[in-house]
Amino acid sequence: MIRRGVWRRVFRGAAPLPGNRIRLLRSGAEFFPALIAALDAARVEIHIETYIFHADASTLAVREALVRAARRGVRVRVLIDGIGSRDLPADWLAVLRGAGVAVLVYRPLVTGWRANPRSLRRLHRKIAVVDACVAFVGGINLIDDFEPVRLPAPRLDFSVEVRGPLLARIHANVRRLWRLVALTQLKTLRRDPAVEPTWPTDGRIRAAFVVRDNFAHRRDIEHIYLAALALAREEIWLANAYFLPGRRFRRLLREAAARGVKIRLLVQGHTDHPFFQSAARALYRDLLAAGVAIHEYHASELHAKVAVVDGCWATVGSSNIDPLSLLTAREANVVVDDQPFAQELRRRLAAAFDAAPALDAAAWQRRPRLSRMLSWLAYGAVRAMAGLAGGGRWT
């Protein structure tokens, strides 16, 4: 869908790579068995990056697979976030390290972190790379679908399993980040033998690996979203847990709706952050008035960060459409330019949209003034937090 010249501008010269096999995984029921099977097949090297590593039944199986791999001589490296994984029990860390698993904590928790805006710069990526021959990238943390809030249905989230030339970029990126974190924490780096990425030769999917960091790729994920919105001609489906886009993003949505693009937005109904939900609701009135259909998902917890445009372009990843993800956190998305894959994601999203009736635009226009004012105050506070964290101007 996206012309080659647009890809070059967005990715600073790095075009999407053809020849990949990419499998869509929905929630932990599909993700954890695939991940564990890959870990049990590992022979040389495992890299895991996650924001949340939670101690529960589902992740116990992951932990034990990591331990088994380390004990048979596989080099296992686990990078967890200092805030997202702050509740991981010390005895779990001891089991991992005792088996030979190398564990690093990204920006470890320090006293007073809640009052320090710089603490918002988190490792929010969810990536696993095994033997440089298979990778998992998406929004699924190492946490059971029913934790920590026990809702009737499993958390709605997605990841992708990647095999193909894209592995070379994913593998190099996770190794680079591991070395960077180790060096900043004055850890001794072993000289490990290089692992050359390998993949099957029958892949047919064009895809790109897009990251956000605070160095050379500060706006890449945001820019690929903006390019997709600008080029949309038929429909835009967005499912995003924390939807607080900037002015440019909202303008492109309104312009797309004005030229006849059908836009559906799936956002959280149940939320673990009411303050952020209130901030997001400040934007609903104008979007509804522009013709954007907004669905609040109450069937379970929505944690997905995915999109489908014109039924042939899709993205699955860790990045929310909010200033914290797009301006301060380390994020990673896979962008897929393939109609069958996009249609599969669309089919899976359709059931979620059907379970979440669209908000009534007229009723939202009549929302009490006090509620609207409080939502805008919350939205302003989120923008200010991102600015104080050093993320730059949120436009």
What residue spans in the chain does CATH classification 3.30.870.10 cover? 20-184, 207-388
Let me know if 310 is a catalytic residue: yes
Q: What is the average per-residue pLDDT within 152-157?
A: 94
Catalytic residue (one of 305, 322, 337, 338): 305
Question: How far is the CA of 117 from the CAs of 36, 61, 185, 321, in angstroms?
Answer: 36, 35, 21, 19
Task: Mark 201-225 as b/e (b = at least 16 C-beta within 10 Å).
Answer: eebebbbbbbbbbeeebbebbbbbb
Catalytic residue (one of 54, 81, 131, 217): 131
Choice among 33-47, 188-202, 238-252 with the minimum mean pLDDT: 188-202
- What's the whole-model pTM score? 0.94
Task: Mark 297-321 as b/e (b = at least 16 C-beta within 10 Å).
Answer: bebbbbbbbbbbbbebbbbbbbbbb
Q: Please compute, for residue 294, the number of CA atoms within 13 A of its CA located in the half-sphere on the CB side.
A: 27
The pLDDT mean for the chain works out to 92
Q: What is the average per-residue pLDDT within 120-127?
A: 94
51 in Cβ contact with 236 (< 8 Å): no
Residue 12 in this model has a pLDDT that exceeds 80? no
Q: What is the average per-residue pLDDT within 160-174?
A: 97
Backbone dihedral angles phi then psi of residue 374, each to the nearest 5 degrees = -65, -35
pLDDT at 110: 74
Q: Which single residue is written with the structure tokens 């809702």?
A: 151
Measured from the Cβ of residue 165, the count of other Cβ atoms closer than 10 Å reads: 17
Q: What is the average per-residue pLDDT within 158-169?
A: 97
160 in Cβ contact with 137 (< 8 Å): yes
pLDDT at 390: 64
Provide the residue type at 170 as one letter.
I
Measured from the Cβ of residue 95, the count of other Cβ atoms closer than 10 Å reads: 16
pLDDT at 138: 98
Let me know if 81 is a catalytic residue: no
Assign domain 207-388 to its CATH superfamily.
Answer: Endonuclease Chain A (3.30.870.10)
- For residues 316 and 304, what is the distance between their CA atoms, to the nearest angstrom? 8
What is the tens place of the pLDDT at every residue in 202-231?
Answer: 999 999 999 999 888 999 999 999 999 999
- For residues 348 and 154, what is the distance between their CA atoms, to the nearest angstrom? 14
Q: What is the average per-residue pLDDT within 360-367?
A: 90
Catalytic residue (one of 47, 126, 217, 295): 126
Q: What would the two tokens of residue 14 be?
A: 């790095």
Q: Which residue would you say has higher pLDDT here, 189 or 92?
A: 92
Q: Which residue would you say has higher pLDDT here, 143 or 273?
A: 143
**DSSP states along 311-366:** TTEEEEES--BSHHHHHTSBEEEEEEE-HHHHHHHHHHHHHHHHTSPBPPHHHHHT
Residue 25 in this model has a pLDDT that exceeds 60? yes
pLDDT bin (cut points 50, 70, 90) of residue 391 is low
Catalytic residue (one of 124, 171, 217, 223): 124
Catalytic residue (one of 310, 322, 337, 338): 310
Catalytic residue (one of 144, 295, 303, 322): 303
Let me know if 305 is a catalytic residue: yes
- For residues 223 and 10, what is the distance between their CA atoms, to the nearest angstrom? 6
Say yes or no: domain 20-184 is CATH 3.40.50.10680. Answer: no
